[in-house]
Structure 1
Amino acid sequence: MCGIVAAVAGRNVQGILLEGLKRLEYRGYDSAGMAVLDSAGTLGRRRALGKVAALEARLAESPLGGHSGIAHTRWATHGKPSEANAHPHQSGDDLAVVHNGIIENFEALRRELRGEGFVFTSETDTEVVAHLLARQLRDGKDLLAAVQAVAGGLDGAYALGVISPSEPGVVIGARQGSPLVVGVGIEEAFLASDPLALLQVTDRFIYLEEGDVVRLAPGGEIAIFDARGQAVERPVRVFEHGDGAASKGDYRHFMLKEIHEQPAVIAATLEGRLGAEGVLVNGFGSEAQALFPQVRQVHIVACGTSYHAGLVARYWLERYAGLPTQVEVASEYRYRRVVVPENTLFVTLSQSGETADTLAALRFAKDNGYLASLAICNVPGSSLVRESDLTLLTQAGPEIGVASTKAFTTQLTALLLLTLALQRVQGGEAPAGLIEALRGLPEAVTRVLALDDEIESFAEAFAEKHHALFLGRGAHYPIALEGALKLKEISYIHAEAYPAGELKHGPLALVDSEMPVISVAPNDELLDKLKSNLQEVRARGGELFVFADESVALEAGEGVRVLRLPAVHEALAPILYTLPLQLLSYHVAVLKGTDVDQPRNLAKSVTVE
């Protein structure tokens, strides 16, 4: 979603802010802007519709100079993409503000402010915040007190960055429901919605808590106040991933790089979590050893790709651990009456740990009588991790491409570890050979990725298509869902997924020579039924693209293309069969010339509801 960068330094901050915005481009946005206070305390602002490059060109024509400033990339929520709606927003020359999130009561506040004579120049909810702050400054408050006063009257989620000529060299930040971190430099201080934005200037960060307000001042001074206005100390954490994570290296796109990083990140997710007897339970937190034996049910809540990972986990948890499992879309979960059976473990999945709907579901669940909450997440200092009882970190490293790849397969790996840990503490034994197969999973992933050239040849058949159908059975139906999501996200081809057995209940009406049908065919107990479903497709003239186990007796021929995947333990097949679907979507998108890493209308970290 939107991105914030701010800086207070002993040097011109324009370059720092611009580089920070470039590092946030992966999040998705439609406009960009910057405001800087110069040495005379004059507020200068530049904004541009489109990419950060457009803002960079404007700054080249008319630079900004000063030691404190704020910058922003906007993803439209209130008001269409336009320069007038781009951040920062000002209230006259009193101040400038950048904002992530949504102010839910902005309409009532705007009516009130208009009644007092304030003039609005944009359609955004953010401009309300600018005028509210200006009103506080005119009443005699300093900038910190103004932000604290205004924050108390805002409903919704927000992260704010504010500067004012009334206090040159000062930046105020505030966080409620939307992530914000403080970068700790040497006699410099920074603010951002994501640590990646600041890795060029620091690797030390303070993750603000809900309700925190922070004041950055010259000399690197950092003062943090909680929601009650009390001064507090927050720990400084060293960012664990190198600056190279934000570079494509030798790859054409971040997405391709991240697909090929999967053997390494899956190995990192497994590292230290497999013992001689199976999965080590203490890897889930100090309380897991006592809590896991009590678990009798599991509820999984997530969004998007993470939701698909949860759907796969339901098959694993019920089959191997014998635990009834319910999987919910986070944006729906808290808007209905939820019945929570006794001793139910509440599991959330999120790559960023800041997904607004998932965080809201966790907070809702805390009052619903769950045994405990477990977060499976990729970001150690994220809100989801801090607010959950137990945590399993996926070790995927930063994922820049909007279409999730390595985050998904590491989530699946973590969910399988959870399944086997719950099975173990409740007296069960892992299926024969599965633990050893898990140890060899990174190598198996490498073998599948070596089929990239063959998968790329499949992509040519999709370049002129407008629709596609994905099929799977059992635990591979969610993999079909994920494959369809990837194709539609980055190639803009309309794609849907169905359980293969549901073809005759409606989707067959869509099948003809212009509707490619993609299926995954592992060698499992549903294989024969899947073969029958595929025959239904061929009988209607549909063109089949099948990713099949090397031992499956399925021959290529007219209208049927088959790619053989290495044999793998049945439990691991959903992870491996994800990979060719990722690569297929990638190559189709490249052929169609779309923006692979930043597909239209989408954002990486969805921090609004």
Structure 2
Amino acid sequence: MCGIVGAVSQRNIVPVLVQGLQRLEYRGYDSCGVAVHTTGGPQRARSTARVAELMEQVQRDGVQGYTGIAHTRWATHGAPAVHNAHPHFSHGAGADAAAKPARVALVHNGIIENYEELRAALQKRGYVFVSQTDTEVITHLIDSLYEGDLFEAVKAATRQMQGAYAIAVFHKDEPHRVVGARAGSPLILGVGKKDNGDGDANYLASDAMALAGVTDQIVYLEEGDVVDIQLGKHWIVGKDHKPAQRPVRTVQAHSGAAELGPYRHYMQKEIFEQPRAIADTLEGVEGIVPELFGDGAYKVFKEIDKVLILACGTSYYSGCAAKYWLESIAKIPTQVEVASEYRYRDSVPDPRTLVVTISQSGETADTLAALRHAQSLGMTQTLTICNVATSAMVRECKLSYVTRAGVEIGVASTKAFTTQLAALFLLTLVLAQMRGNLSEGEEAQHLKAMRHLPVALQAVLALEPQVMSWAEDFARMQNALFLGRGLHYPIALEGALKLKEISYIHAEAYPAGELKHGPLALVTSDMPVVTVAPHDALLEKLKSNMQEVRARGGVLYVLADADTRIESGEGLHVIRMPEHYGALSPLLHVVPLQLLAYHTALARGTDVDKPRNLAKSVTVE
């Protein structure tokens, strides 16, 4: 969600800025722009098209400079339109200000909660607003506070801003200087490498991926930091505005991971990468030991007697599946909360709770806020399941398990979900072992099954042609129901989410036993019902639920294990899974649902990797 790139250099920096935006396209955006410092004042180009079109505009208009900022915007305040796109300019106050060269150029991720109050005050001072954004408020605020030192003006502005923000800003009177600040939204500093032709360049970005190939020397700014970058030097102050030292880390953010290769879309590529992603996530797991989750894990796990899982979206559904494992295998009470709801309700804290956050990016604003809320209530035993080792989530939790899914570009999460499930199953086994609920034989059996997962997933991916035939039917529909029972109800939820995310078909998921309590009223021949039917203890109950659908003229699409004795017939379409996989069955059953969503979207002609209104990394509430 939104992307920032900024730089000071001794060469034209526009190609680096635009290339950085291209590497951030996966985050989701509906407009983009770039601004550079020139002797006549800031110059910019903005577009509501893709970054490739912005590059053409930049070349056509001759936009170039040694200092600049760039942005991809996901609309919050104001519609996706050029006048709302970043960078925003401030020409100063007064009725004639617009006729003068711009003084301040700024880009911003996040939401300023008190922007209406600040806007009203600035309007009284003569500032004219040309957009509906909260970002323009920051731009004018910094201009109003500027007294010859941009760094001081930004520090003063942060004292007045409430909400979440990451900003990068430059002033026409200070060439070769960009100032950044962050609170509640990620921002990094990239230290330039002299051997790449940039001389003494320095960079700002919202994601290390934006600087892949430019520098691998990264400083992760902390909450409340303000950073000043100039040629060959930078400095940082913390939230107390006192000088702060932040370590420089070598981060390999390979741009090659974002190459599409032979696939039509990133989502398709990432679905087929799941065997490798699972293998990488489990690499080095020789036995079930607490240290898989970090130093000190044994002590933490000994001090807890319940689990609280906090997550959003797809990650929330992985947590819902983990609840079944944790309670049935580890015998530990587990609660799963939607992160955006948890922090705003009265709950009963218990310091003997293990707080587990789940996030692909590790920067999800609602999940980070929920984590901090739990910590403020005295629940300090924290663990995160995350795909980014350098993320805020990893830094703020005592323990972590970093999944190794690799860069996930498609907005609809696939390989991140299955690797989260793998990590959560490992956590289940560790807690089961420590609580005396896992024998040596059971441990060996579970480890054998986990090591076989990549091969099992390859067999499931081979079902793609059968799923494609289902997709032809679904592409003509406007609604769908997904059913599952027990451990597979969260998989039905995830399947429905995938279909609605990228095909724009309205889809809902229910526990199959809830059919007769309302959803059955919706069943007609125009309402396909997808059923996840593993051969488990609830199979016979599930078959009864399926008969309820058929009796009402509904059409069933069933993912069945080979030995379930469910046969295709009139109004009943069956795809047989290669093998029953016991407790790990959710990792296999979700893959055909991902493929169904993908091929249905493909048939409907939607933008698979960048579905409308959605963003990859949700860094605002």
Counterpart CA distance in 1 for 2:305 and 2:169 is 48
1:183-231 alpha-carbon deviations (Å, 9 max, x no partner): 2221221111111111131233111110111111113x22222112222
Aligned 8 A contact 1:241 1:397 in 2: no
TM-score by length of 1: 0.97
- Aligned residue among 89, 103, 106 for 1:97: 106
Supply the distance in 2 between the matched residues of 1:566 and 1:291 (Cα, whole angstroms): 39
Tell me the equivalent position of 1:75: 74
Tell me what 1:393 maps to: 402
Q: Give the Å deviation of 1:241.
A: 4.7
1:60 pairs with 2:73: no
Residue of structure 1 equivalent to 2:94: none
Deviations 1:442-489 (A, max 9, x none): 111111112112211221111111001100000100000000000000
Is the aligned partner of 1:407 residue 2:451? no
Distance 1:112 1:259, change over 3 A: same
CA contact under 8 A between 2:103 and 2:171: conserved in structure 1? yes
Aligned to 2:8: 8
2:133 corresponds in structure 1 to: 124
Give the 5 Å matches for 1:398-477: 398-429=407-438, 431=442, 433-477=445-489
C-alpha distance in 1 between matches for 2:276 and 2:43: 45
**Counterpart Cα distance in 2 of 1:442 and 1:167:** 55
Contact conserved, 2:212 with 2:253, CA < 8 A, in 1?
Answer: no
Percent identical pairs in the alignment equals: 58
- Most deviating of 96-105 and 191-200: 191-200
- Contact 2:365-2:620 within 8 A present in 1 as well: yes
1:196 paired with 2:203, answer no
More moved, 321-330 vs 199-208: 199-208
Distance 1:367 1:212, change over 3 A: same
Q: What's 2:294 paired with? A: 285
- The 1-side partners of 2:49 and 2:37 are apart by 24
How far did 1:315 drift?
0.3
In structure 1, the partner of 2:154 is 147
- Residue 94 of structure 1 deviates from its aligned partner by 1.2
Measure the CA separation in 2 of the matches of 1:516 and 1:522: 19
Aligned twin of 2:95: none
Residue-by-residue CA offset, 1:254-277 (whole Å, 9 max, x unaligned)? 1011111111111111112332xx
1:86-485 residue pairs with structure 2 within 5 A?
A: 86-92=85-91, 93-137=102-146, 140-186=147-193, 187-219=200-232, 221-275=233-287, 279-370=288-379, 372-429=381-438, 431=442, 433-485=445-497
1:270-301 CA-partner distances (Å, limit 9, x unpaired): 112332xxx22101111111111222111101
Aligned equivalents of 1:608, 1:128: Cα separation in 2: 17
Structure 1 residue 57: Cα displacement: 2.8
Identify which range, 363-372 or 68-77, moves more after superposition: 363-372
For the 8 Å contact 1:296–1:342, the answer to whether it is kept is: no
Contact 2:213–2:254 under 8 Å retained in 1: no
**SS across alignment from 2:190:** strand
Cα-to-partner distance string for 1:217-257 (whole Å, 9 max, x where unaligned)? 113x2222211222222222222453211111111101011
Q: Which runs of 5+ in 1 are unaligned?
A: none
Q: Write the distance in 2 (CA, Å) between the matches of 1:241 and 1:583.
A: 28
- Cα 1:342–1:363 change in 2 (3 A) is closer
Structure 2: distance between partners of 1:286 and 1:63: 54
Whether contact under 8 Å (1:295, 1:371) holds in the other structure is no
In the alignment, the residues of structure 2 paired with residue 213 and residue 294 of structure 1 have an alpha-carbon distance, to the nearest angstrom, of: 38
State the shift of 1:367 in Å: 1.8
1:434–1:569 CA contact under 8 A, matched in 2: no
Q: Match of 1:143, as an amino acid? A: L
Aligned to 2:576: 564
Is residue 46 from structure 1 mapped to residue 6 from structure 2 by the alignment?
Answer: no
In the alignment, what sits opposite 1:490?
Answer: 502
Shift of 1:178: 0.2
More deviation, 201-210/166-175: 201-210
Cα drift, residue 2 of structure 1: 1.1
Q: 3-state DSSP class of the match of 2:84?
A: coil
Matched to 2:150, the amino acid is: L
Q: Is the 8 A contact 2:41 2:103 kept in 1?
A: no
1:520 to 522, 528, 532: 532
Correspondence 1:544 to 2:556:
yes
Letter in 2 for 1:121: V
The SS at the match of 1:84 is helix
Distance in 2 between residues matched to 1:264 and 1:607, nearest whole Å: 28
C-alpha distance in 2 between matches for 1:237 and 1:566: 45
Task: Name the SS for the 1:439 alignment partner.
Answer: helix
Question: Distance between the aligned counterparts of 1:378 and 1:570, measured in 2?
Answer: 26
Cα contact 2:209–2:254 (8 A) shared by 1: no
1:33 equivalent in structure 2? 33
Matched to 1:493, the amino acid is I
SS at match of 2:576: strand
Instruction: Name the stretch that deviates more: 411-420 or 5-14.
Output: 5-14
CA distance in 2, matches of 1:70, 1:56: 14
Equivalent residue number for residue 196 of structure 2: none
Q: Which moved more, 1:432-441 or 1:22-31?
A: 432-441
More displaced 10-residue stretch of structure 1: 329-338 or 51-60: 51-60
Report the secondary structure of 1:71's partner residue: strand
Deviations 1:353-374 (A, max 9, x none): 1111101001111121225011
- Please give the alpha-carbon distance, in whole angstroms, between the structure 1 residues aligned to 2:205 and 2:527: 45
- Residue aligning to 1:531: 543
Gaps of 5+ in 2: 92-101, 194-199
Equivalents in 2 of 1:311, 1:463: separation in Å? Answer: 29
Amino acid at match of 1:196: M
State the Cα distance separating 1:41 from its structure 2 match: 5.8
- Does the Cα contact within 8 Å between 2:374 and 2:380 map onto a contact in 1? no
**How many residues are aligned here?**
602
Q: 1:241 to 1:450 in 2, by over 3 A?
A: farther
